Amino acid sequence: MGNCCSGDVGGGQQAVGGGGMGGTASGLAGGSKNTDANEAIDHLLKSRGLGGLHSQIELSLSASNLRDRDVLSKSDPMAVVYAKRRDGQLEEIGRTEVVLNSLNPVWIAKITVNYQFEVVQPLVFQVYDIDSQFHNVPEKMLKVEEQQFLGEASCLLSEVLTKNTRSLSLNLVRREYGGIQPRKLSELTVRAEECVGSKTIIEMVFRCSDLENKDLFSKSDPFLLISRAAESGAPIPICKTEVRKNDLNPTWKPVILNMQQIGSKENPLTIECFNFNSSGKHDLIGKVVKSLAELEKLHLELRGENFFVPTVVGHDHHNKILKGQIFVEKFFESKRQTFLDYIAGGCELNFMVAIDFTASNGNPRLPDSLHYIDPSGRPNAYQRAILEVGEVLQFYDSDKHFPAWGFGARPIDGPVSHCFNLNGSTGHPEVEGIQGIMSAYMSALHNVSLAGPTLFGPVINTAALIASQSLVNNQQKYFVLLIITDGVITDLQETKDAVVKASDLPLSILIVGVGGADFKEMEVLDADKGERLESSTGRVATRDIVQFVPMRDVHSSEISVVQSLLAELPGQFMSYMRTRNIQPLC
Amino acid sequence: MDNSVTLEITIISAEDLRLSHRPLKKNAFVTVRSSTLDDSGTSSTSLDRDGGSYPHWNEKLQVALPASARSISVEVHCKTGTGVRLVAVATIPVSDFCEPADYLHFLSYRLRERDGKRNGIINLSVRMKGANPFGCRAQRPPAAPPTTWARCEERRNHGVALGYPVGYAYRV
């Protein structure tokens, strides 16, 4: 093989291997094998368009002190769970079974909800007493309008998940009494549990012996492709190994599979062994079909399985058994830590806001200004960004004290400041709740005169200082800085330096661009669109911590803008925790 | 040795290494130097066999860091048929990892050749063990500026100095 083309082939082989292992070229794959495994799964999910955090949650419900509506016996309660849509409509997600004769029912049926970090997910629970005449009707067929209403409760899914115990008790209220409630309130308890499937990963090491030689002048260059049988059509590839060069008895690097992708341990998996060809037409050496359970058995019995190749003899299909065998050298099942494990363990996401007060926003008294406060109450672009990001993040911050700054303005008789406290206080940038940010923002508009230029460096450095101080106190915290801006930054290099430095800290930066300016430079900061950020001193960002979105059309009620902004946050959080091997508390 | 601390440096990997404009093939290794005077200030990884121009070591090195050191240097070498050749170097200011103390810093640097030409990137982690004589930035609460509408200029200047050893000037 000539020297000149070996580089290309190497690249191709990397690409083949890359499907499953992901992290080999990205450098910071981290210390432990476990990290590699997690990265591989993230990579896998991303490649399937599941970049954000989606996790299956099972809700279990119980109630106490339900009202007794039956004359001769106690109530026969059933709970129905609804998702409340943006327009206020209720959409049923599921219902429990009917528990007979109980005022303190513990329902067994679990309600499955798909948790999405970047979306606020309001849930409504309604409890009904099922009349005995319906007791033979399946729960799904029951019409709730025909049943006695016992009460209703609502909460956000994130409220339950951020609780230490992952359970939340809610008062059941009845609407028909117009607010007058009996002294002893009925209570509904919601417990949330992450489905085990999304947390289980399986690590295997495969070895083959006596593979057939497919190459003319050298030995075969084998790799494995693992696919899952699909309900319809061709099998879905899940994972590939790297290519072993010139090796008829290869052992590959560990292969990592996620239980969610496989379905169950009994699902058959197709493992195909190919000979790598730089043309991209890899020849099939042989295949086996085995479920995970069978693979585990092979491992325990130290047995090999012979490969076969499907052949056509006349009109008959039959499998030709080959001499080559596959062995499972290692089979290891483990649970990975998820974002929600950290959150339930007490790790907090601390929200911080910085608002652009530069003159390019326009005079706040005029309706065409981006800072114009509409007397009708319709939020301006800044208010909308704060509200939409804030309403998702606030529940991950238990004390709800949010630092809020402004930049690019001249506070009363002072020089231009590139980081002033929004509440006008001298020492404490923190305000209380999202409402606190909103009122501090409006009062700041009256107290400062808009100026320039647009500098991000001071705000990012101030946020980074807070993040690094939390490390000194050994708290498990992660910080999220939201910067809302209308224009092009003037201190690109200083901002880059600040971001590079902050990439080593538990901090992510979300930037929302408002107005019609050209935001090309922001894209540079958002490293997933280009190269890794490099500071003026040659230090390089260790991970991507900046996420940018332009909020172009202020007047449309598009919610996906904020969703795309928040979607990467759990991933950035996990990359921080995993590279440092930080375990969830509790 | 009393006024030096131990650095635990894990050389994780390097990316896109080139030797005379060609991608590196194999046998890259890294030498960390915290002091040119003392042997305890130098340590090297083993050779990377199969990573090519994207070598992966994940090897922990320990070096002593003299209190007077401003920076450490990380050198990527390559063992070739004709001997050991220097690929590129990165200089890491002590201020990049002395604070917060006892924190595992994950750092990446652009490597440069002797003549300053850009080469690949090196990824490593550093933890400073034991007491921190560098005292870096003194812990102080956010200073209250004289007027309301607090401005961060003061804190900002402070922020730029972030990481530069405050006690350092006195030591030199």
- Break chain B into its structural domains and give their ranges: 4-139
In the chain, the amino acid numbered A512 is: V
pLDDT in tens, A106-165: 999 999 998 888 889 999 999 999 988 888 888 888 888 889 899 999 999 999 999 888
CA distance A552 to A487: 12
**pLDDT score at A33:** 39
Tell me the two tokens of residue B106: 């994950």
Do B151 and A465 count as a contact with CB atoms less than 8 A apart? no
Tell me the two tokens of residue B73: 């240097």
Confidence of residue B166 (pLDDT cuts 50, 70, 90): very low
**pLDDT score at A478:** 96
Contacts of B112 in chain A (CB under 8 A): 538
Q: How far is B51 from chain A (nearest CA, A)?
A: 9
Residue percentage of chain B with pLDDT more than 90: 50
Q: How far is A36 from chain B (nearest CA, A)?
A: 12
Other beta carbons less than 10 A from residue B52's beta carbon: 18
Of residues A184 and A373, more confidence is placed in: A373
Q: How many helices (H) and strands (E) does chain B have?
A: 2, 10
Q: Is the minimum CB–CB distance between B68 and chain A shorter than 8 Å? A: no
Q: Is the minimum CB–CB distance between B50 and chain A shorter than 8 Å? A: no
Q: Is the minimum CB–CB distance between A426 and chain B shorter than 8 Å? A: yes
pLDDT in tens, B71-103: 999 999 999 989 999 999 999 999 999 878 788
Mean pLDDT of A413-437: 92
Confidence of residue A530 (pLDDT cuts 50, 70, 90): low
Do B156 and A462 count as a contact with CB atoms less than 8 A apart? yes
Best CA proximity match to A350, nearest among A301, A298, A402: A402
pLDDT in tens, A476-522: 899 999 999 998 889 999 999 999 999 999 999 999 998 888 888 88
The dihedral built from the CA positions of residue A246, A247, A252 and A257, taken in this order, carries a sign that is positive
User: What is the β-pairing status of strands A348-356 and A477-485?
Assistant: parallel
Do A28 and B13 count as a contact with CB atoms less than 8 A apart? yes
Q: Is the minimum CB–CB distance between B59 and chain A shorter than 8 Å? A: no
Mean pLDDT of A4-18: 39
Least reliable range by pLDDT among A161-165, A367-371, A405-409, B133-137: B133-137
pLDDT in tens, A68-95: 877 778 889 999 999 998 888 999 999 9
Mean pLDDT of A251-278: 85
With both helix axes pointing from N to C terminus, report the angle between A33-47 and A569-579 in degrees, rounded to the nearest 10.
160
Given a cut of 60, whether residue A41 has pLDDT beyond it is no
Q: Work out how many CB contacts closer than 8 A connect A with B.
A: 129
CA distance B109 to A372: 44
**pLDDT score at A449:** 92
* Residue A571 Ramachandran class (φ > 0 left, ψ -120 to 50 alpha, else beta): alpha
**pLDDT score at A422:** 94
Mean pLDDT of B39-60: 89
The CATH classification number of B4-139 equals: 2.60.40.150
Confidence of residue A54 (pLDDT cuts 50, 70, 90): low
Given a cut of 50, whether residue A20 has pLDDT beyond it is no
- To 10 degrees, the CA torsion angle through A32, A33, A39, A44? 180
Complex ipTM: 0.77
* Contact residues for A156 (Cβ-Cβ < 8 A; gap 6+): A120, A121, A122, A123, A395
Q: How far is A494 from chain B (nearest CA, A)?
A: 10
Other beta carbons less than 10 A from residue A261's beta carbon: 18
Minimum CA–CA partner of A429 in chain B: B150
Q: How far is B14 from chain A (nearest CA, A)?
A: 6
Given a cut of 60, whether residue B132 has pLDDT beyond it is no
Do B152 and A462 count as a contact with CB atoms less than 8 A apart? yes
Surface of B (128-157) touching A: CB under 8 A: 139, 141-142, 144-145, 147-153, 155-156
Do B110 and A29 count as a contact with CB atoms less than 8 A apart? no
Tell me the two tokens of residue B18: 């080139």
pLDDT in tens, A285-340: 999 999 999 999 999 999 999 999 988 777 777 888 999 999 999 998 887 788 88
Q: Which of B10, B15, B153 sits opposite A31 (nearest CB)?
A: B10
Given a cut of 50, whether residue A351 has pLDDT beyond it is yes
Do A417 and B106 count as a contact with CB atoms less than 8 A apart? no
C-beta separation of A492 from A521 below 8 A: yes
Contacts of A426 in chain B (CB under 8 A): 144-145, 147-150
C-beta separation of A102 from A121 below 8 A: no
What is the three-class DSSP state of A162?
A: coil
Indicate the average pLDDT of chain A: 84
Tell me the two tokens of residue A403: 């630092």
